[in-house]
Amino acid sequence: MANTYTAIATVTVGSGGASTIEFTSIPATYTDLNVLASTRSTGDQASVNYCQLRLELNGNTSNYSDRLLYGIGGLGAGSLSYTNAYVTWAGASTDSTATASTFSNVSIYIPNYASSNNKSISSDGVTESNATNSILTLDAGLWANTSAITSLKFTLEIGNFAQYSTATLYGIKKN
């Protein structure tokens, strides 16, 4: 039962940064979606070296819920829950206080994105920095909406996406 990954689109942020990374007109021809992203924020999140990477589906700003597990170097581990949120947590992004030229990495998986069921979303990511405040996140999310997903929009809690931030959207077909 092999899966076939096909790169649908890649976004690389140019000089001057960008407030969003978006994928639009996503075809309904795949079984699942996977986004691999490497990001950095231009903002400073009070010297913790990271900020929240947020995901909005189909331009919708309601009906998201999440269960987040995290580990922060030097500070320990914990969990958070969100209900009726306006976006879903898609990981963390390295911020401008992190070690120069380092980026976070995240994988976001959305199974059955074109079905008429509510959409589950999972992500795992890590920030990069030579500081004790780097963070590892694991998130299980739900978008309580039965529409097929046709667009993804990523934003940051603070700042813009820095130059060279990149994201690639993959479509997955089961053979």
Q: Which domains does the chain have, with CATH numbers?
A: 3-174 (2.60.120)
- Residue 2 confidence class, pLDDT cut points 50, 70, 90: low
What pTM value is reported for the model?
A: 0.94
Measure Cα distances from 168 to 26, 51, 60, 102, 159 in Å: 13, 20, 21, 18, 21
Q: What pLDDT was estimated at residue 167? A: 98
Kindly report the average pLDDT of the chain as a whole number. Answer: 92
Burial of 105 (0-12, 13-18, 19+ CB in 10 A): middle
Residues in the chain: 175
The more confidently predicted of residues 33 and 130 is 33
For 49, the enclosing helix (H) or strand (E) is: none
Please check the confidence at residue 89 and state whether its pLDDT lies above 70.
yes
Res 1 pLDDT > 50? no
Q: Tell me the C-alpha to C-alpha distance, in Å, between residue 12 and each of 18, 22, 159, 166.
A: 10, 11, 17, 4
Q: Are 35 and 168 in contact (CB under 8 A)?
A: yes
Tens of pLDDT, residues 22-78: 999 999 999 999 999 999 999 998 778 888 999 999 999 999 999 999 998 877 899
